[in-house]
Each structure stands twice: as structure tokens, then as C-alpha cells.
Structure 1
Amino acid sequence: MFEARTLRMRLLLQLIVTVLALPFLLPLIVMVSGSLQGQGWGNYVAVLEVPNFFLFFRNSIVIAVITVVIVYICALLAAFAFSKLRIRAREVFFWMLLITLTLPEVVLLTPLFSTTIALGIYDTYWAVILPLAALQIPFAVLLTRNFIDGIPDDIFAAARIDGANTVGVFWHIVLPLTRPVGAAIVVFTLIGAWNAYLLPLTFLQSPDVQTVTQVPQYFIGQFSNDQTKVLASAVIIVIPQIVAYLSLQRLFERGLSAGALK
């Protein structure tokens, strides 16, 4: 691994990293500073006083957690099958799965709307959870398969010799060894599910099931446009994602870099 050994090189690398981070930090700084203009901390109080705010927050947590669980389980199972199991035409199925990455979310709204109506799940959590999970699974499978490909086949062969079946191999070998990439899947899926706006806006009409991403709409109307409170809403919405990333940062970075070195 590359390591800066001199003070000059460390300072140079720190400067480069800082310059590269500025374009990403600047919008966050503007968002936080803008949220404190006008009424200051009163903007945050106004956001927290939005009717059913904590109910919206709870709904987002429920949708995000269930989506993460579905994506995590499906991605690990599919990636293990595509990587280590002998399945006829598995590469064909794998590339068919990856093709779905090219489908934009807005194109799927009409067929998804008809499907949710037909299944009777419109205006329920599942009307958002299932499409969100389906949209996240292809990338998660791609990321996880690349990770599992790096696990030596000798480990699986030794497990077979010891009498482990496919379920045992998955449970005792794949699950423990894929913790880093699992953390990456959790973070990516959580961000996608928590930030979802179009699907909840389309499929969740009742206030009892709406998500926290709908809160900024309370400050934008025909005769009002309070951007300071909109920015305060954005700051509150982004906090759980930051906490999740910081909690899983080490595993997340390992999961992203694992496929580069074999």
C-alpha cells in the first residue's frame, strides 16, 4: 500500500485531498448556513412542528430498514449463486439482471402504478419498498459478486470436504467474509431508500404512510416559498445518513476497495 513517509509528502497529499473534497463540502456548508438564516434555530423548530413530522420520520425508517433487509439478503444469495454455484447460463441471467440498471426510475412509474393497483398495495409501505428494493438489487449483486469472486475456491472445497452443504457454506463462510461489502450495501441502500422522493410522492397519498422527504413541501406553496425552512428540513433529513455512514465507515471502505486487490 502506498504510504507517505516524509512530512512534505504528507502535507502535499493533505492539500490534494482537501482540494478534492471542497466541491462536495461546499453544498453542505451552504445548506447548513442557509438553514440558519432568517429565524436561525427557529427554522428547525418550525420543521419539527410540521404536523405528523415524527410519523413521517418513522415511516421513512420502516421503509428504509425493510428495503435494506430485502436488498441485503437477495444480493448476497444471488451473488453467491452467480459466483460459486454451477448454474446453467448463469452469465446470461447475470447480464440480464445488469441490464435493468439502465432503466430510469421515471420510466417505470406507469407500469408500477398499474401493478400496485392490481396487487392492492397502493398507498401502503410495500408500494414503495418493493420497487426501491428491485432498483437497488442489481448494483448490490454486481458489487457483492465481485467481492465473492475474490474468496479462494479452496475455502469452499475444504468446507465441502468437511461435509458442509450449500446452505452451510453460505451461512458459515459467505456471510462472515462478506461483512465489508455488506456494510457498503447497507449504506448505499439506506441512502437510496431514505432519499426516495418520486416513488413515495406517487404511491403514498395518505399522511399516515408518507415519508420525511415530503416535509419540504409544507414550506413551498402558491403564495409561499420559505427556502430557509426547506434547507433546515434537508439538514434534518440528511443526519441519519451521516450517522449510518460514520458507524459503518471502516467496513464500507473495505467493501468498496476489496474488489480492486486480489
Structure 2
Amino acid sequence: MKRLNLNVVSQVMIADNIFELTVEGEGVESMKVPGQFVHVRTGEGFSSLLRRPISICDADTANNRLKMVYRAQGKGTAWLSTRSRGDKIDLLGPLGNGFNQDVVEAGGKALLVGGGIGVPPLYYLGRKLAQKGVAVSFALGFQSSKDAFYIEKFKEIGRVAVATADGTIGKKGFVTDVMDKFTAEQPVVFACGPSPMLRALNHKTEGLNAYYSFEERMGCGVGACFACVCEAATPSGYVKICSDGPVFKKEEVSI
């Protein structure tokens, strides 16, 4: 982990209150593991001491460019959404333990399942797996077409199925409603999203090798404050999402 002071290259609103922020600078070269996150300072002065965890959407480690996709829904992320080219972003990273790509070999199949703001880290993962020779499919869930993003980008990597709660794009329903044609192929499953989505996946991934990335509120981001503790099958009976995760094999954490 390093404290980085990165330059804003661009910021674009890509869906309703969803922003794509690209930054560059020394330190991005270490962000090679999909599923890790950065802890971003979102303001100035004492009111911004608590950072916000944002997943790594993509990283160009050769050119030191980092891409983050996040929802502006509070004071801190609203401030972040006003940053523009030439501004500096203070962040800690990379943090956490990401997706283990070694669990699927070249020539194998992987299904990446994401819901809402859990979708962004799957882009970097999907790109890396495809480069390795893995056949990648995506099942993506959004509330509505106005909340959807990156669908065409995902189609450049592999097959894509989309579900929206209101049916304005893709199939009406939840992401679990569009998974069946992919799970029949017995893929390794990687998922990221809110706990209700992950809980619903347990039935759909029965008998499959599955790994979940958990979304939890965090304080420190480095395992010191115990703000993101979840019940788990460990000797201590718990895990810290920020430092032990955020990615776990599905049997390891109680949802």
C-alpha cells in the first residue's frame, strides 16, 4: 500500500450519477490484481478525514493510468465528481485481496456476475482473464437503463446478458434471472455486488467454484478499525472485508 497523489486526466458522467474518473501517476504500476480497491480522500479539511473505498475498474500499469467508476451519492463522492483535468486526487492503494485468476486456466470458462456499482471491478478482471485465454461471459444487473453503463465495453470481451428491475433494457428482473444459460457450462464464477444479490447467487452457484467480492462500509480501509467485520468460518469467527477481502470463496463468509 502506498499513499499516492495522482493527476486527473478526465472525468465523465457515464450513467445517472455514475462517474468514470481517470487519473495517472507513479504508483499505478502496482495495481495489477483485479478486485482490489483504493481509498480516496473526498474533500478538504477535517470533514474529509474518512476516505471512500472505490474499486479499481481498470489499470494501465504500463502507462500508470487508473480508471475508477463510482456513484456520487453523498457529500464526499459529490465533491469527487467535481474534480477535473489538472486536479490532484489523494488516495491509498492498492488495498485488499482481489480475485485469484489462477483458479481458472487458459481454455476454461468464467462467468462474471455484477450488480449496480459492483459491476466496475469485473471489467478489469474480465479483460485480464480474456488475455489469459479464458472464455468470459458476463451477467450484469441494473435498476434501469439510465443506471446501466459499460455494456458495449463488456461485449468487446465476451458474451453479455443484462437484467434491469424495470425492464427498460435487457430482461426484466434480477441478474440471477439471466445466469442460467451460462451456469449450465459449469464456469468458475466471480461476483461483486450488494449482499442481497450475493445471497441470491448461492442457489444459482450450487456445485460451482465461486468467489464473491463484498461491498461494505469501511472506516480505515486497512483492517485497524473493525468497521467492516463480517461473520465467517474462521477460527476467530469473523473476517475484515477491507484487509482479509474484499474477495472470498463463497463458503468462507456468512451472507
TM-score by length of 1: 0.22
Counting helix residues as a fraction of each chain, which structure ranks higher?
Answer: 1
Counting strand residues as a fraction of each chain, which structure ranks higher?
Answer: 2
Per chain length, whose mean CA-contact separation is higher, i.e. which structure has more relative contact order (CA < 8 Å, sep 6+)?
1
Larger radius of gyration: 1
TM-score by length of 2: 0.23
